[in-house]
Amino acid sequence: MQRFNEVVDNIINQVKATSNDWVWSYHKSPDDLRHNRVKVIQEFLSDYETGKKSNRYAVGELPKLAYDHQQFDIALCSHLLFLYSDHLDYDFHLNSVGEMLRIAKEIRIFPLITLMWKHSQHLDEIVQYYTSKGYKIDIEKVEYELQPGGNKMLKITRDVI
Ligand SMILES: C[S@@+](CC[C@H](N)C(=O)[O-])C[C@H]1O[C@@H](n2cnc3c(N)ncnc32)[C@H](O)[C@@H]1O
């Protein structure tokens, strides 16, 4: 909460200064974005201690996760893979997607553009690689869009044993 409070005004002010560059559909305005973020962090923190006790929150770091083979039905990655394509290389993406597919039957990654709002330079090769391995790949449009063009999700299903 302390860290959130330290940075939130600065971030929202940057968004306000560039407000025409963002899509105001789910979040209606920079102030609505702030309001929604405050709500979310409060909800998260009010659940955190209980969640930790029941092992719903655990620390981990891609590209290696301490979970069993196919332990989950679904694994989600939001605003890390593809978004940070200019900072995280192709091998990191390949290994991370591979690790998510190891632990879950289906994985979903969002968004598919970079911080510079460009199509990720790793996406096509990752799609090609997993298609050639027999996985089912879908790129689906989603309702949520804040970065212009950031409204697509990659879904990979583990059809192979
Ligand atoms: C832009 S934030 C997105 C947070 C949240 N998933 C969301 O969508 O609002 C990127 C997150 O990725 C986490 N992260 C950075 N490197 C990681 C790694 N190697 N494995 C897993 N998470 C990582 C950071 O700690 C940070 O919380």
C-alpha 117/C-alpha 82 separation (Å) is: 11
Among residues 36, 57, 78, which one ends one of the domains? 57
| pLDDT per position as a tens digit, 119-155 | 999 999 999 999 999 999 999 999 999 999 999 999 9
Contact assessment for residue 41 and residue 11, using Cβ atoms and an 8 Å cutoff: no
For residue 60, report the distance from its CA to the centre of ligand 1, in Å.
10
DSSP lists the bridge partners of residue 109 as 77, 154
Residue-range definition of the domain harbouring residue 31: 1-57
- The torsion of the CA quartet 92, 98, 99, 103, rounded to 10 degrees, works out to 160
For residue 3, report the distance from its CA to the centre of ligand 1, in Å.
15
- Quick count: other Cβ atoms within 10 Å of Cβ 3? 8
Residues 50 and 22 reside in one and the same domain? yes
**80: Cβ below 6 Å to ligand 1?**
yes
**37: Cβ below 6 Å to ligand 1?**
no
Instruction: Please tell me the total count of domains within the chain.
Output: 2
Residues 89 and 116 reside in one and the same domain? yes
Residues 36 and 67 reside in one and the same domain? no
For residue 80, report the distance from its CA to the centre of ligand 1, in Å.
5
Residues 81 and 159 reside in one and the same domain? yes
Residues 11 and 67 reside in one and the same domain? no
Is the pLDDT at 161 greater than 60, yes or no?
Answer: no
Provide the whole-model pTM: 0.94
Q: Which atom belonging to ligand 1 lies closest to the Cα atom of 83?
A: 1
In terms of Cα–Cα distance, which of 107, 112, 111 is closest to 96? 107
Residues 67 and 109 reside in one and the same domain? yes
**Which mutation among 76, 80, 86, 107 tests ligand 1's pocket best, with the greatest number of atoms within 8 A of CB?**
80
Task: Give residue 76's pLDDT band: very low, low, confident or very high (50, 70, 90).
Answer: very high
- Protein residue with least CA distance to atom 27, ligand 1: 80
| pLDDT per position as a tens digit, 30-49 | 999 999 999 999 999 999 99
Residues 115 and 96 reside in one and the same domain? yes
Q: What is the largest CA-CA distance in the chain?
A: 50
Is the pLDDT at 88 greater than 90, yes or no?
Answer: yes
> Residues 6 or more apart from 149 whose CB is under 8 A from it?
113, 117
Question: CATH no. for residue 135?
Answer: 3.40.50.150
- Protein residue with least CA distance to atom 6, ligand 1: 78
Task: Kindly provide the residue ranges of all beta strands, DSSP E only, lying in the chain, ordered along the sequence.
Answer: 72-78, 104-110, 136-141, 152-157
Residues 74-88 have a mean pLDDT of: 98
| pLDDT per position as a tens digit, 95-123 | 999 999 999 999 999 999 999 999 999 99
DSSP lists the bridge partners of residue 107 as 75, 156
C-alpha 104/C-alpha 73 separation (Å) is: 5
